Amino acid sequence: MLESSTLSPSGILSGNSDQLGHFDSCLGVQLKSEGLVGQYCLATLHLSPTPRAYPTYFLEGHRSDPLSLHYPPNLSFWDKLKVTKDPSKKVRGVVRWALCLPASCRVVDIHSTLQRTLQTLRPAELEIRAELTSRACTSTVDSESQSPSAAYYFIKWLLIMSLACVVLASTYDMLVYRKHIQKNKPPGIGTQLMLCYSIYENLSALKRPDPSTDLAVIHGMRTYSMFLIILGHRCLFSYGGPFHNPEFLEYRYRRFEDILLLNGTLIVDTFFVLSGFLTCRMLFLELKRKGNFRLIAIYLYRWLRITPIYMLMVVCYAAVLPHLGSGPVWKLKAGLEAERCSNNWWTNLLYINNYINEDQMCVFQSWYISCDMHYSLVAPL
């Protein structure tokens, strides 16, 4: 257990604030005959000097150049730990520290003992405040007691049945329909419903050009922006987790070739432009064809087109995500996402999650869907 805990930190000045110890070794401690099972906890420590030891640490704007990444070697240790207004810099004064303890120890007892121990450092002019929650602790005892919910099994079988439908429909499409039926008669309603699940039919529809439209430029913009956003989110998730050398990322934020990718919110604006253009085009075509359009029908069509698969993703976050992995920060990340979706799923259903409980947003990427839905409600007016 001692070897699995963080014994000596390294790289704190460089931003290596996640001192994770060894998660698997800690949970591998199993001596059930003696009632000893390992429990991995990740405490959050807030480091600061006492006001008497370093008064300027608490003065806002003390550093002449808060955006600089260069620190003279004769500066105090605390100058580099001090929080600046530069959002690209990793906070150095908050460290996550791994502890491996018996699972019989309660989280509240671990926290109080840790805080009392850290108070002994105050005579050395060092203040450390500890935070520890049940979500930051993991043991095999907890994993065995937390069985999947009914929603988990519902989603599991729903996805299995959907996959089976895709396999059967694709097989029928390629081996039966296209070889023996397609040339003789048009498909009936049952066949059309089955072909909705066919991979072959859907890929063909995606590649089939529409001679009535000339939107190649729009499709190109959408494809290029989509790849950039996927790559940007991949970087966001990688850089948002435990990172051994954050100084490398801090320098990348200042390189011209990385600015666009690492500022992904600017890329998303292209989708707002495309969505607005396509909505406007659809409304004008509807006016040209019918002379008017029904607002309720337009709103209902868009809501039904997006909401079912969107809600499926929300349920997956709430019921399935916590059971898909484990690790030092898994419960802190995935567990928090699941809790937010369990409590605030209704805000996603109504597309108000960026106005109601926005600090507890379920599926944080969904802010875009809500904004896009709001624009779609306003556009026909």
Handedness of CA 313, 315, 317, 319 (dihedral sign): negative
Q: What dihedral angle (degrees, nearest 10) is formed by the CA atoms of 315, 318, 322, 324?
A: 10
pLDDT over 60 at 11, yes or no: yes
User: Any idea which of 80-84, 96-100, 149-153, 298-302 has the lowest mean pLDDT?
Assistant: 80-84
pLDDT tens digits for range 349-376: 999 999 999 889 999 889 999 999 999 8
User: In this predicted model, which residue has the larger pLDDT, 261 or 39?
Assistant: 39
Please state, in angstroms and rounded to a whole number, the distance separating the CA atoms of residues 275 and 225.
13
Range with the lowest mean pLDDT among 115-124, 158-167, 246-255, 317-326? 246-255
Residue 57 is predicted with a pLDDT of 76
Report the alpha-carbon distance of residue 284 to residue 290 in Å, rounded: 10
Mean pLDDT, rounded, for 332-342: 91
pLDDT at 282: 84
Distance CA 184, CA 200 (A): 20
Q: What is the pLDDT of residue 81?
A: 78
Q: Which of 49, 107, 46, 109 is nearest to 79 (CA)?
A: 49
Position 294, amino acid: R
Per DSSP, 366 falls in state G
Burial of 21 (0-12, 13-18, 19+ CB in 10 A): buried
- Asked if residue 379 has pLDDT above 80, the reply is yes
Q: Which of 15-29, 70-84, 205-219 has the highest mean pLDDT?
A: 15-29
Higher pLDDT, 29 or 86: 29
Greater model confidence, 308 or 251: 308
pLDDT at 64: 47
Question: Dihedrals φ, ψ of 126, to 5°?
Answer: -125, 125
Please state whether beta strands 137-139 and 126-131 pair in parallel, antiparallel, or not at all (unpaired): unpaired
Query: 3-state class of 39 per DSSP?
Result: strand
Mean pLDDT score, 240-265? 78
Q: Please state, in angstroms and rounded to a whole number, the distance separating the CA atoms of residues 246 and 46.
A: 18
Neighbours of 332 (CB within 10 A): 17
pLDDT in tens, 227-236: 888 887 887 7
Q: Which amino acid is at 91?
A: V
Task: Give tens-digit pLDDT for 135-194.
Answer: 999 988 876 667 788 888 999 999 999 999 999 988 888 887 777 666 666 777 777 888
> In the predicted model, what is the mean pLDDT of the chain?
84
pLDDT of residue 100: 93
pLDDT on residue 353: 92
Q: Is 224 helix (H, G, I), strand (E, B) or coil?
A: helix
| 48-72 pLDDT, tens digit each | 888 888 877 777 655 545 556 677 7
Of the listed ranges 55-69, 127-141, 191-205, 280-294, the one predicted with least confidence: 55-69
Q: Taking 60 as the threshold, does the pLDDT of residue 7 lie above it?
A: yes
Instruction: Please tell me the predicted confidence (pLDDT) of residue 39.
Output: 92
> How much is the pLDDT for 62?
54
- Residues 188-198: tens digit of each pLDDT: 777 788 888 88
pLDDT over 90, % of the chain: 26
What integer is the mean pLDDT of 314-329? Answer: 90
